[in-house]
Amino acid sequence: AQSVTQPDIHITVSEGASLELRCNYSYGATPYLFWYVQSPGQGLQLLLKYFSGDTLVQGIKGFEAEFKRSQSSFNLRKPSVHWSDAAEYFCATLPNDYKLSFGAGTTVTVRA
């Protein structure tokens, strides 16, 4: 079954620095891929989604992600991190019509 893996459990980044979070997917067919963010004490919020077409997708809060079939990756990026970006980030895929399958998550700490 289609699944995603997030290799990094925890990342620390300085405020103003760039951020890249890794996500690898399994399965051969073009997957549907998503990034969600969970701020402290909050539920998850959809950042962006990829179905097909342009491999660079823009999301909310200044985030973008790039789909790379050759590397089976869908990495999330932000050019300049703000303290409010400290959160847990989840990559997800849609193995069937109704069920999201989430990665284990990456916690991002932002230092001043």
Partner 1 sequence: DVKVTQSSRYLVKRTGEKVFLECVQDMDHENMFWYRQDPGLGLRLIYFSYDVKMKEKGDIPEGYSVSREKKERFSLILESASTNQTSMYLCASSPQGTSYEQYFGPGTRLTVT
> Judged by CB under 8 A, which of 31, 35, 105, 108 binds partner 1?
105
φ/ψ of residue 94, rounded to 5: -120, 85
> Judged by CB under 8 A, which of 2, 13, 32, 66 binds partner 1?
32
> Judged by CB under 8 A, which of 42, 55, 80, 109 binds partner 1?
42
Q: How far is the CB of 111 from partner 1 (least distance, A)?
A: 22
Q: b/e map of 63-99 (b: 16 or more CB within 10 Å)?
A: bbbbbeeeebbbbbebeebeeebbbbbbbbbbbeeee
Residue 90 binding partner 1, by CB under 8 A: yes
Residue 46 binding partner 1, by CB under 8 A: yes
Q: How far is CA 112 from CA 10, 17, 21, 36, 87, in A?
A: 17, 10, 19, 24, 15
* Cβ pair 48, 64 in contact under 8 A: yes
> Judged by CB under 8 A, which of 45, 58, 71, 109 binds partner 1?
45
Positions that interact with partner 1 (CB under 8 A):
9, 32, 34, 38, 41-46, 49, 90, 92, 94, 97-100, 102-105
